[in-house]
Amino acid sequence: MVQRPPQQAIELLEKAVERSKRRSSVRLPLAFARDQVAASPTPPLARLLQGGGEVRIKVFLTIMMMATKFPHETRVPSRELAAMLNLRDPDGAGARRVNKAISDLVAANLVRRDLRPGHVPSLTVLDPSGSGQEWNTEQLSGDTYITLPPDLWRRGWLVALSGRALALLIILRENTGGRSRGAWVPGVRHRQYGLSEDTWTKATKELREAGLLDVDEKVYSFQGEPRRRNLYTLHMDRLAAFDPGGLTLPD
């Protein structure tokens, strides 16, 4: 069962959303989650998870949430980010973990960090596809992006969910196109997301236990042979309706 984060972390995330004055969802390009070009797909989202990248993905998503408008720049102390993410010893080891995550994001061309002596560094979100180019969400249109509602932060879900569960939430959000009805993931597209089967399985279990995902097995016929496939239904509305750990599912 997903555990509710400490109230202090939730309140800090609430304040961060308020400070950002965000009125709309966080928007990500499809290329952040899915690599449709490489023979061995490793999109930025999958790369962020490699080597225990939970702090990396949570720091990146939080910076994106806070950096609302072009040029998508924000200033937030590392110790404050560490406290928001409920990292142990936010003034010491937690802040160092955040700094390491930011350095990794800079190396991945996802964030630019501008240092000024005596000032909190400025963090600018770059194109989440990893190109290193400037980023402007106003250039996104139609169905060319993935949306994440502010309640993911405001209600503490960002802390309550693991990095892999957040990654699968983003992936299924992209795969379903924001629709509430179930969708299946074709094999080719599954590979384009770049997640291992073990990560996919564990993340699926976590999202189901959190009440955010239903998975229904359907049987269909292919060339006269029965085949099985999973239909995934995301319940994004529950991000606002329930606190993490506060939803009791029927047996």
* Max mean pLDDT range (42-51, 113-122, 141-150): 42-51
The C-alpha atoms of residue 144 and residue 178 are separated, in whole angstroms, by 12
| pLDDT at residue 244, rounded to an integer | 87
The C-alpha atoms of residue 228 and residue 208 are separated, in whole angstroms, by 19
Burial (CB count <10 Å: 0-12, 13-18, 19+), residue 229: middle
Contact indicator for 94, 87 with CB cutoff of 8 Å: yes
Check pLDDT > 70 for residue 179. no
pLDDT band at 39 (very low <50, low <70, confident <90, very high): confident
| pLDDT at residue 186, rounded to an integer | 84
Check pLDDT > 80 for residue 224. no
Which one is predicted more confidently, 60 or 248? 60
* pLDDT, tens digit, 9 for 90 and up, residues 77-105: 999 999 999 999 999 999 999 999 999 99
pLDDT band at 225 (very low <50, low <70, confident <90, very high): low
Mark out the alpha helices in the chain (DSSP H runs).
7-20, 30-33, 44-49, 54-66, 78-84, 93-107, 151-154, 157-160, 163-176, 187-193, 197-209, 238-241
Provide the 3-class DSSP secondary structure of residue 112: strand
Provide the 3-class DSSP secondary structure of residue 71: coil
H or E stretch at 225: strand 225-234
* Mean pLDDT, rounded, of the chain: 90
Check pLDDT > 60 for residue 221. no
Q: How far is CA 83 from CA 8, 51, 151, 218, 233, in A?
A: 8, 22, 18, 43, 32
Provide the 3-class DSSP secondary structure of residue 204: helix
Domain layout of the chain by residue ranges:
7-241
The C-alpha atoms of residue 220 and residue 226 are separated, in whole angstroms, by 6
Check pLDDT > 50 for residue 251. no
| pLDDT at residue 52, rounded to an integer | 85
| pLDDT at residue 162, rounded to an integer | 96
Which tokens hold the place of 175? 């795969």
Please name which of 195, 198, 143, 207 lies closest in space to residue 169, comparing C-alpha atoms.
207
| pLDDT at residue 156, rounded to an integer | 95
Contact indicator for 112, 132 with CB cutoff of 8 Å: no
Check pLDDT > 70 for residue 250. no
Q: Poorest-confidence range of 7-11, 75-79, 240-244? A: 240-244
* pLDDT, tens digit, 9 for 90 and up, residues 181-201: 778 888 889 999 999 999 999
